[in-house]
């Protein structure tokens, strides 16, 4: 990354690597033109640390400008000796994620294990849908490939090709294909995500020696791992590019718009590219002349996710409309299902408080006197 020349104004360009409380760790771009010229002429120039701990200018707070991990920022008044600075401005973002809160991401790397814990198609599908909903490129890495045979790998690969994905089989433990995965991350900002216990932290530690993330063990009782990441942080890759872990991202919500859900399935997009449904607002359940409904493998996943998305949308409408006659009762044991029951429409159903009863009695006694 090459920074513009802000030397005349005492400003520098950089990228926010981490946010904790009201402080921002900013990685500065390469030295600007003036400093480079001074160094080449053997002239004295101020030391230029690669990282500064920065605060945010009050002006940014007043206008409500949030500073996120991944933001490109302008830093002014650097204190080289103290390693401090102040963020004066945030450059326009080309992408922005809500959860995790991170800007300027180019792609999402999903990491799953083919064994220990076993690969669960429904869970994998859920992560893929969430990743597709961001509009970013999606890469799929399957770790612990040393635990299954080549024929089993081929079977998994053929299945996922039917979904529209070409997985990369890796083994962090044995160092299989980790260099191939690294090449896909070069010169890009990548968010890594996946369920607990699949080896995300181990993969980051392999790709970046300086990361040194804590690695969680897989729970024997639940066959699931424990999340060990606590905050979002960008790590610099040796080959260029930045990699971000995602704390708590182990069960993504199905909070997309129901009508848009079908477009997050590559195999469904392929069908819609050839023909159109009869109705423009088709939800692809039981509508006539639907080109999507059929015998493709993940169609059942689509129906379950659609129910969850509709339930989420309904809940949002209930929160936005307090006069609604329905309320969310509870979530059933089935995946993605919610139940609603009528609200009490009149105050006459509410029990009168003792305080109100006592006040009424006092008023009654005064009237009798």
What SS3 state is found at 227?
coil
Kindly state the tokens that stand for 141.
């890495």
CA distance 214 to 304: 35
Mean pLDDT is highest, among 17-26, 105-114, 201-210, 332-341, for 105-114
Taking the CA of residue 351 as centre, how many other CA atoms within 13 Å lie in the half-sphere pointing to its CB? 3
pLDDT at 356 over 90: no
Mean pLDDT is highest, among 222-236, 246-260, 280-294, for 280-294
CA distance 80 to 197: 41
* Residue-averaged pLDDT of the chain: 81
pLDDT at residue 150, as a whole number: 95
- Provide the β-strand partners of residue 116: none
pLDDT tens per residue, range 171-203: 999 999 999 999 999 999 999 999 888 999 899
- Provide the β-strand partners of residue 327: 341
pLDDT at residue 78, as a whole number: 87
pLDDT tens per residue, range 159-171: 999 999 999 999 9
How many percent of the chain have pLDDT more than 70?
Answer: 72
pLDDT at residue 209, as a whole number: 77
pLDDT at 26 over 90: yes
CA distance 306 to 259: 9
pLDDT grade for 334, boundaries at 50, 70 and 90: very low
Kindly state the tokens that stand for 90.
């945030």
pLDDT tens per residue, range 293-313: 988 999 999 999 999 999 999
Average pLDDT over residues 113-135: 94
What SS3 state is found at 212?
coil
pLDDT at residue 254, as a whole number: 81
Contact 246, 190 (CB under 8 A): no
Which pairing describes strands 107-113 and 137-143: parallel, antiparallel, or unpaired? Answer: parallel
Which of 171, 17, 177, 26 is CA-nearest to residue 102?
Answer: 17
pLDDT grade for 21, boundaries at 50, 70 and 90: confident
CA-atom Rg of the chain in angstroms: 27
Q: Would you give the distance in Å from CA 321 to the centre of its chain?
A: 29
- For 220, list phi and psi in degrees, rounded to 5: -70, -30
Between 312 and 331, whose confidence is greater? 312
Kindly state the tokens that stand for 67.
């500073």
Contact 109, 190 (CB under 8 A): yes
CA distance 215 to 197: 8
CA distance 369 to 365: 6
Between 212 and 286, whose confidence is greater? 286
Query: Could you give all domains of the chain from N- to C-terminal order, each with its CATH number?
Result: 7-92 (2.40.50.140), 102-244 (3.40.50.300), 258-347 (1.10.40.50)
pLDDT at residue 48, as a whole number: 58
pLDDT at residue 30, as a whole number: 74
User: What DSSP line would sit under 172-237, residue for residue?
Assistant: TTTTBSHHHHHHHHTTSEEEEE--TTSSHHHHHHHH-TTT----PPEETTTTEE-----S-BEEE-
Which of 157, 150, 205 is CA-nearest to residue 182?
Answer: 205
Contact 58, 26 (CB under 8 A): no
């Amino acid at each position: 990354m090459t920074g513009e020349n802000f030397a005349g104004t005492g400003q520098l360009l950089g990228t926010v690597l981490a946010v904790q409380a009201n402080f921002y760790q900013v990685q500065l771009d390469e030295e600007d033109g003036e400093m480079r010229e001074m160094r080449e002429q053997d002239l004295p120039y101020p030391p230029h640390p690669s990282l500064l701990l920065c605060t945010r200018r009050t002006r940014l707070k007043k206008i409500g400008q949030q500073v996120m991990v991944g933001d490109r920022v302008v830093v002014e008044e650097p204190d080289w000796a103290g390693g401090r600075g102040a963020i004066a401005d945030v450059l326009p973002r080309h992408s922005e994620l809500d959860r995790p809160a991170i800007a300027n991401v180019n792609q999402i790397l999903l990491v799953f294990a083919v064994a220990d814990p076993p690969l669960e198609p429904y869970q994998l599908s859920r992560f893929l849908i969430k990743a597709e909903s961001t509009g970013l490129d999606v890469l799929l890495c399957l770790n612990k490939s040393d635990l299954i045979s080549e024929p089993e790998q081929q079977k998994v690969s053929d299945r996922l090709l039917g979904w529209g994905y070409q997985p990369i089989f890796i083994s962090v433990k044995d160092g299989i294909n980790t260099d191939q995965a690294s090449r896909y991350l070069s010169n890009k900002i990548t968010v890594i995500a996946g369920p607990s216990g699949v080896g995300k932290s181990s993969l980051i530690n392999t790709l970046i020696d300086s990361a040194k993330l804590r690695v969680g063990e897989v729970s024997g009782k639940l066959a699931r791992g424990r999340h060990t990441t606590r905050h979002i942080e960008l790590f610099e890759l040796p080959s260029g590019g930045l990699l971000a872990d995602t704390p708590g991202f182990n069960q993504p919500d199905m909070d997309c718009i129901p009508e848009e859900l079908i477009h997050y399935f590559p195999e469904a997009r392929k069908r819609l590219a050839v023909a159109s449904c009869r109705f423009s607002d088709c939800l692809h359940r039981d509508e006539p002349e639907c080109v999507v409904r059929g015998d493709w493998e993940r169609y059942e996943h689509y129906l379950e996710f659609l129910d969850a998305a509709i339930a989420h949308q309904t809940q949002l409408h209930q929160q936005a409309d307090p006069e609604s006659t329905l309320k969310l009762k509870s979530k059933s044991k089935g995946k993605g299902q919610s139940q609603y029951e009528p609200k009490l429409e009149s105050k006459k159903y509410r029990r009168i408080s003792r305080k109100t009863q006592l006040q009424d009695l006092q008023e009654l006694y005064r009237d009798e006197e």
